[in-house]
Amino acid sequence: MKDKILVFIITYKASFRVLDVVKKIPFNYFKKKKFKILISDDYSNDDTIGYIRKIKKKYKSKIFLNFNKINQGYGGNIKKCLKFAYKNNFSYAVMIHGDNQYDPKYLALMVKELIKNKNIVATVGSRMINKSNALKGNMPMYKFIGNIFLTKLFNFLHNTKFTDCHTGYWGYNLKKINKKTFEDLDNHFCFDIDLRIKLVNRNLKIKEFAIKTYYGTERSSIHFIYAVRFFFKTIMNRLF
């Protein structure tokens, strides 16, 4: 029996950008696999829902939809998608954001590595292996510098060699990661770092890939809060 693969797209006020994301999924690779796509929207109050329904109409049975009736937060929305994956016996899951910052073309590469390399429990897209690409993709300078500093801090404290500890582009080997692993992770923007810390603490391997990314004109007010929480989580984990 073929392994089942779930591509899940998390959205929150993604608008038309979610349509662009779906169009760029490498269907030529996935059509040879047993796969489904889940789009999970976290209670958007704009036109995002309309675009998601257009996608469903076009791709029909290949697409599952989830609309959260209450905002679950970034991590909470991911947990919903992963619960769906475990419940429906998917072997692998890959996450892409609906805002089109990460290019879906890398999804195939991430899945290939998960299937081929049995020692890897997760794959991540790194914007910082080729740092010039991050700047060419309009990564704000404060994020660029902050990423380098905080990633070096993490590596120093955990004896790792990551290039980008802040990516939101993940693939998961669900045969290697127990579903309970995700239950106590942060429901907000520290979900990814909580997972990275937990996997590193268990000496489980995370594989990085170089990716290009594009930043639009949108700016978020949570970056400073995220940076502070990342700093303290990283240090407190080593102390306790």
pLDDT at 1: 67
CATH 3.90.226.10 fits 4-239, yes or no: no
What is the pLDDT at residue 137?
92
> What is the per-residue pLDDT for 225?
87
The rounded distance, in Å, linking the Cα atoms of 215 and 78 is 21
* Residues whose CB falls within 8 Å of the CB of residue 224, separated by 6 or more in sequence, listed in order: none
Note the pTM of the prediction, 2 decimals: 0.95
Average pLDDT of every residue of the chain: 94
Model pLDDT, residue 221: 55
How far apart CA 141 and CA 239 sit, in angstroms, is 31
Of 41, 36, 40, the C-alpha closest to 60 is: 36
Q: Report pLDDT for 219.
A: 52
Residue 101 DSSP class:
-
Q: Helix 223-239 vs helix 191-201: angle between axes, to the nearest 10 degrees?
A: 20
CA–CA gap between residue 240 and residue 236 (Å, rounded): 6
User: What pLDDT was estimated at residue 223?
Assistant: 76
* Spatial strand order in the sheet of 4-11: 63-67, 34-41, 4-11, 92-97, 170-173, 120-126, 205-210
How do strand 120-126 and strand 205-210 relate by DSSP bridges? Answer: parallel
Q: Could you say which residues of the chain have pLDDT below 70?
A: 1, 217-222
Tens of pLDDT, residues 63-95: 999 999 999 999 999 999 999 999 999 999 999
**In the prediction, which pLDDT does 240 show?**
76
If residue 207 lies in a helix (H) or strand (E), which one and from where to where? Answer: strand 205-210
* Side chain identity at residue 158, one-letter code: H
How confident is the model at residue 238, as a pLDDT? 80
Instruction: Using alpha carbons only, give the angle 167, 168, 169 rounded to the nearest 5 degrees.
Output: 95
Strands 170-173 and 92-97: antiparallel
Decide if 176 contacts 202 (C-beta within 8 A): no
CA atoms 131, 133, 139, 141: torsion sign: positive
Q: What is the pLDDT of residue 161?
A: 98
Contacts of 120 (CB under 8 A, 6+ apart): 113, 114, 173, 176, 205, 206, 207
> Tokens representing 58?
């076009």
